[in-house]
Amino acid sequence: MGQPNTTRCIAVVEPCAMTEIGLRHILNEYSTGNYCVHFFKDVHSLRRTLRVRDITAVIFSLSGQRWLRVDSLLYLRDIAYSHPEVRRIILAKDNGEVNLIKKLTPSCLHGIINKATCREVLQQELFLLLLQPAQPVDQPLNSQIAVCQIFSPTEHSILCYMTYGYSLLEIALQLGRNIKTIRAHKCNAMIKLGISSDLALLSAGDILVHLSPESVTNAHAIVA
């Protein structure tokens, strides 16, 4: 029996109007035949569409605004569970963010691309991810094992607390440790991730907390 000739949809979450124009141009060649590309300003509009329409792939272009970035990370994790058949791709702001995501979330994703790369490379990498046969991604358990191999329990807790706005002094009080010990664990975490700024460490905490199922559970315990 022949299959109906349905158009498959690729969703792109991109809050920046200028970046959307560039991505539209890049994806224009792909938006032909049985494929179409739809852009969304935020995950809330995408969520409404996903309830009534089948989507083949979702491309999350991470925003520089933290709350928009966190929304995307949270919804990406949700899609991994509710729609595992949907291909999930992240466009990171730079190579540093690409490396952080690869270290902290080996599961949940089919691809991570640096959107600051040149147009030809970006287009080639996007098309490769969209056109290649779908491959299964690791289970969340494997992701958590990889994270546990990177961080000590204290380092993991520090990242979770930082994500929710705790200062180092407050973290020390919560963990029953002195401030020098907390600073040392924080420095160790930064060394392991290859980063040198508190902002990058906060981004790492966001990625860890909002894409790792066990970290989400731990974070809920922190804010309860």
pLDDT at 141: 36
Q: Are 117 and 97 in contact (CB under 8 A)?
A: no
**Averages of pLDDT over each 10 residues, the chain, 224 residues:** 62 93 85 79 90 89 87 87 90 90 77 92 90 60 53 91 93 96 96 90 86 52 51
Which of the four CATH numbers 3.40.50.2300, 3.40.50.300, 3.40.50.10680, 3.40.50.970 does domain 8-131 have?
3.40.50.2300
Nearest to 41 by CA among 77, 15, 4: 15
pLDDT at 66: 86
Q: Where are the domains of the chain?
A: 8-131, 143-211
pLDDT at 145: 46
The Cα 188–Cα 116 span in angstroms is 29
pLDDT at 1: 41
pLDDT at 36: 86
Provide the token pair at 31: 């938006």
What b/e readout covers 155-190, taking b as 16+ CB neighbours within 10 angstroms?
Answer: bbbbbbbbbeebebeebbeebebeeeebeebbeebb
pLDDT at 77: 85
Which of the four CATH numbers 2.40.50.220, 3.40.50.720, 3.40.50.1100, 1.10.10.10 does domain 143-211 have?
1.10.10.10
pLDDT at 69: 85
pLDDT at 219: 46
pLDDT at 166: 95
